[in-house]
C-alpha cells in the first residue's frame, strides 16, 4: 500500500484565498484524522471521522475551517478565507479502528501551508 | 481532560538506553498510551502502545506504573538515527478524546 497520500505537499497562498487540502487514507481504514502542527502549539487534532462520519470536531479553530469525507477513500480540509496564522503543516492520518481513537494511526507526509 | 506533559528535550550518546517519561494525570484503567516518533519533514510514526504494566516490541518498551499517572518510553542502545522528536499520546476510551504531548526532542550524539 502507498500509505496515506496528501496533496498538495506545499501550498503558498495569499490571505483571504480559499485553500483545500486533500487526503487519501490507507485502503480499508475506517478512521481518518486531520492534525495541524506548528512550533508554538505542537500537534493539534482538528477533527476525526469514523466510517466517514465526523466524530469530534472540537479542535477545528473556527468557522473558517471545514472538513468533509464524502467516501471512504477521500477527505478534504478547507480553509476559507485563509489567514497568515493558519500557516502550519497539516497532517492527515488513518487507522483501522471501527470506532474510537486508540488504534495505531498512520500519518501522511503532510501539507506545508504558507499564507502570506 | 488529561493533560499530557513531556520534557522538551533530552541528549544521549550512542549505545545508551534512553527513557522518556510522559505525565498524564486523571486517566482511567483502560485508557491507552501511545508513542510516536517524528523525523523532520515527515509525519509521526508509531512506536509502541499499551494501557498497563509493560509492553515490549522490537524497537522499544513501554512501562506504565500502577498509579497510571505517568508512562515511560524506553529505547535500548540508541543510535544516531534515533535522533527525532518523540510524542506521547493519551487516548481516553470514555469520550474518545486524544491528547498529544508537546514532544521530546531527543538528540543522540556520537
pLDDT above 80 for B1: no
Q: Do A105 and B49 touch (CB under 8 A)?
A: no
Q: How far is A100 from chain B (nearest CA, A)?
A: 5
Compare all CA atoms of chain A with the CA of B50 and give the residue at the minimum distance.
A102
What's the confidence (pLDDT) of residue A74? 96
What's the confidence (pLDDT) of residue B2? 57
Q: Do A101 and B91 touch (CB under 8 A)?
A: yes
Q: Could you tell me which residues of chain A have a Cβ less than 8 Å from any Cβ in chain B? A: 4, 42-45, 55-56, 91, 93, 100-102, 104-110
Q: Do A100 and B102 touch (CB under 8 A)?
A: no
Cβ-based contacts of A107 with chain B (< 8 Å): 36, 42-45
Beta strands in chain A (DSSP E): 5-7, 10-13, 19-24, 31-38, 42-50, 53-56, 65-71, 74-79, 88-95, 106-107, 111-115
- Cα separation of B2 and A94, whole Å? 23
Please give the share of chain B, as a percent, with pLDDT higher than 70: 95
What's the confidence (pLDDT) of residue B9? 96
Task: pLDDT band for A98, please (50, 70, 90 cuts).
Answer: low
Q: pLDDT (tens digit, 9 = 90+) per residue, B25-49?
A: 767 777 889 999 999 999 999 999 9
- Parallel/antiparallel/unpaired status of strands B98-100 and B84-91: antiparallel
Amino acid at each position: 500500500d502507498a500509505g496515506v497520500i496528501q496533496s498538495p505537499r506545499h501550498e503558498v497562498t495569499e490571505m483571504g484565498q480559499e485553500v483545500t487540502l486533500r487526503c487519501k487514507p490507507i485502503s480499508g481504514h475506517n478512521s481518518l484524522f486531520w492534525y495541524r502542527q506548528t512550533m508554538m502549539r505542537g500537534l493539534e487534532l482538528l477533527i476525526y471521522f469514523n466510517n466517514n462520519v465526523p466524530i469530534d470536531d472540537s479542535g477545528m479553530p473556527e468557522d473558517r475551517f471545514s472538513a468533509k469525507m464524502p467516501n471512504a477513500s477521500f477527505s478534504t480540509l478547507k480553509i476559507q478565507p485563509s489567514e497568515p496564522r493558519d500557516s502550519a503543516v497539516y497532517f492527515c492520518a488513518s487507522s483501522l479502528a471501527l470506532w474510537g481513537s486508540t488504534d495505531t494511526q498512520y500519518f501522511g507526509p503532510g501539507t506545508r501551508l504558507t499564507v502570506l | 481532560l488529561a493533560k499530557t506533559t513531556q520534557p522538551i528535550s533530552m541528549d544521549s550518546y550512542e549505545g545508551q538506553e534512553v527513557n522518556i517519561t510522559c505525565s498524564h494525570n486523571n486517566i482511567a484503567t483502560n485508557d491507552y498510551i501511545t508513542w510516536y516518533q517524528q523525523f523532520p519533514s515527515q509525519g509521526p510514526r508509531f512506536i509502541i502502545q499499551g494501557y498497563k504494566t509493560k509492553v515490549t516490541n522490537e524497537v522499544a518498551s513501554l512501562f506504565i506504573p500502577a498509579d497510571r499517572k505517568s508512562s515511560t518510553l524506553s529505547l535500548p542502545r540508541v543510535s544516531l538515527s534515533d535522533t527525532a522528536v518523540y510524542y506521547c499520546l493519551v487516548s481516553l476510551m470514555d469520550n474518545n478524546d486524544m491528547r498529544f504531548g508537546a514532544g521530546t526532542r531527543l538528540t543522540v550524539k556520537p
